[in-house]
């Protein structure tokens, strides 16, 4: 691995992954690509890559994965041997009202990257898929061979389509592909629209927070440091033809449990009102990580309490209290 292209490099996971690549592999070049999609403040994204830009091993392109011509130019110039494809529209609920945006970026954008990967002979293509592909009707913990025909948001459906397209490039052109099904990542630089972020922000400001339904919805939360560890493993692991693998914490935390954890981490008591649950939010996510353990020798190291404490510390230093 000499040159790694990270799409979505200005985002939450992309900026953390690019940073870890530069730190752990000082001789490789990391090429970041992002279009600064305005779903959340562009200033946050610019600050996410501020540190990366100081490295001589890092180059950045402001480009859109929907633009295949622009992508070809970048591939031709940089000749990446691995692609970590994280760029996406990533809001489950927004996808219900704007599905075309999710098709354009998450499906057509992924196809454009696969075409470039084929043309420029990329050796490893890592696709950020999602626990959303499991929908609502699977028994926990979700295994990779469970049914994934019933995603309940166009976002989940777009991720399933991305996996399917990636498989065809493996089958027809021998591209080595890993589809990582990410389960609710959280931590430093996380997206501001996500529940944990909103709660920490509001609780620290003394504002009332909303809880969905009775607080019984459960999520498998993966700390960003553990996720990045898995991403580095799938980029460097030898002899992978095509792999679909869950990356999660192998536990399931209810909203009420999360609330207590945030209260402990902030040292503040929350004021809470209930709101109806959104139709496109799944009841539960819970990863089986047996495959990740077996194939990648990976397991999460960060407890939910520790991860939330680290996030609160970061939030207070970077985004004010």
Ligand X SMILES: NC(=O)c1ccc[n+]([C@@H]2O[C@H](COP(=O)([O-])OP(=O)(O)OC[C@H]3O[C@@H](n4cnc5c(N)ncnc54)[C@H](O)[C@@H]3O)[C@@H](O)[C@H]2O)c1
Cβ atoms of residues 188 and 13 within 8 Å: no
3-state secondary structure of 44: helix
Pick from 20, 59, 89, 229 the residue near ligand X by CB under 6 A.
89
Question: Has 197 been annotated as catalytic?
Answer: no
Min dist CB 203 to ligand X, Å, is 20
The rounded distance, in Å, linking the Cα atoms of 133 and 151 is 5
Query: Would you say 165 or 206 has its CB closer to ligand X?
Result: 165
Q: How far is the CB of 17 from ligand X (least distance, A)?
A: 9
Annotated active-site residue in 61, 102, 134, 155: 155
CA dihedral (159, 165, 166, 168) positive or negative: positive
Buried b (16+ CB within 10 A) or exposed e, 45-81: beebbeebeeeeebbbbebbbbebebbeebbeebebb
The stretch among 33-41, 117-125, 200-208, 210-218 that binds ligand X (CB under 6 A) is 33-41
Q: Could you tell me if 10 and 45 are in contact, meaning their C-beta atoms sit under 8 angstroms apart? A: yes
| 31 lies in the binding site for ligand X (CB under 6 A) | no
Residue 107, interface with ligand X (CB under 6 A)?
no
Closest CA to 58 of 2, 87, 8, 18: 18
Q: Between 207 and 282, whose beta carbon lies closer to ligand X?
A: 282
Least Å distance, CB 271 to ligand X, is 26
Q: In the stretch 158-197, what mask flags binding to ligand X with x, by CB under 6 A?
A: ------------------------x-xx-----x------
Query: Which of 52, 86, 196, 235 touches ligand X by CB under 6 A?
Result: 86
CA–CA gap between residue 171 and residue 151 (Å, rounded): 24
Count of C-beta atoms within a 10 Å radius of residue 254? 15
Regarding 259 and contact with ligand X (CB under 6 A), the answer is: no
Q: Does 253 bind ligand X (CB under 6 A)?
A: no
Query: Which one, 17 or 22, has the nearer CB to ligand X?
Result: 17
Phi and psi, residue 249, nearest 5°: -95, 0
Counting contacts by CB under 6 A, is residue 314 touching ligand X? no
Interface with ligand X in residues 37-76 (CB under 6 A) = 37, 45, 64-66
The number of angstroms, rounded, from the C-alpha of 171 to the middle of its chain's C-alpha atoms is: 25
Is omega for the bond preceding 222 within 30 degrees of 0, making it cis? no
> Residue 315: in which H helix or E strand, if any?
helix 304-318
* Choice between 184 and 288, CB closer to ligand X: 184
The answer to whether the Cα torsion of 6, 9, 14, 18 is positive or negative is positive
Contact letters for ligand X, residues 116-155 (x by CB under 6 A): ------------x-x-------------------------
Shortest Cβ 269–ligand X spacing (Å): 27
Q: What is the dihedral of CA 103, 108, 113, 115, to 10 degrees?
A: 150
Residues in the chain: 321
Using the minimum distance from each CB to ligand X, give the nearer residue, 90 or 312.
90
Looking at beta carbons only, is 14 or 307 nearer to ligand X?
Answer: 14
Provide the annotated active-site residues: 155
Q: List interacting residues with ligand X (CB under 6 A).
A: 8, 10-14, 34-37, 45, 64-66, 86-90, 105, 109, 128, 130, 182, 184-185, 191
């Amino acid at each position: 691995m000499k040159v790694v292209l990270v799409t979505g490099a200005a985002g939450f996971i992309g900026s953390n992954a690019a940073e870890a690549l530069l730190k752990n592999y000082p001789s490789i070049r990391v090429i970041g690509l992002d279009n600064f999609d305005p779903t959340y403040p562009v200033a946050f994204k610019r600050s996410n890559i501020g540190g990366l830009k100081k490295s001589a091993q890092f180059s950045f392109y402001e480009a859109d994965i929907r633009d295949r011509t622009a992508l070809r130019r970048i591939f031709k110039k940089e000749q990446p041997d691995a692609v970590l494809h994280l760029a996406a529209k990533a809001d489950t609920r927004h996808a219900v009202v704007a599905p075309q945006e999710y098709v354009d970026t998450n499906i057509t954008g992924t196809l454009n990257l696969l075409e470039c990967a084929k043309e420029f002979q990329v050796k490893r293509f890592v696709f950020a898929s999602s626990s959303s592909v499991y929908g609502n009707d699977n028994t926990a913990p979700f295994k990779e061979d469970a049914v994934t025909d019933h995603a309940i948001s166009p976002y989940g459906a777009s991720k399933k389509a991305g996996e399917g397209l990636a498989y065809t490039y493996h089958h027809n052109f021998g591209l080595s592909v890993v589809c990582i099904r990410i389960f609710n990542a959280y931590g430093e630089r996380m997206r501001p629209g996500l529940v944990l972020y909103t709660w920490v922000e509001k609780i620290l400001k003394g504002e009332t927070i909303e809880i969905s339904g009775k607080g019984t919805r459960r999520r498998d939360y993966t700390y960003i440091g553990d996720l990045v560890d898995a991403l580095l493993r799938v980029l460097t692991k030898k002899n992978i033809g095509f792999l679909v693998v869950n990356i999660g914490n192998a536990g399931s935390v209810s909203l009420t449990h999360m609330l207590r954890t945030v209260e402990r981490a902030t040292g503040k008591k929350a004021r809470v009102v209930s709101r109806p649950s959104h139709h496109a939010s799944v009841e539960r996510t819970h990863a089986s990580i047996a495959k990740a353990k077996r194939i990648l020798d990976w397991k999460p190291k960060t407890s939910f309490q520790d991860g939330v404490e680290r996030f609160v510390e970061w939030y207070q230093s970077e985004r004010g209290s």
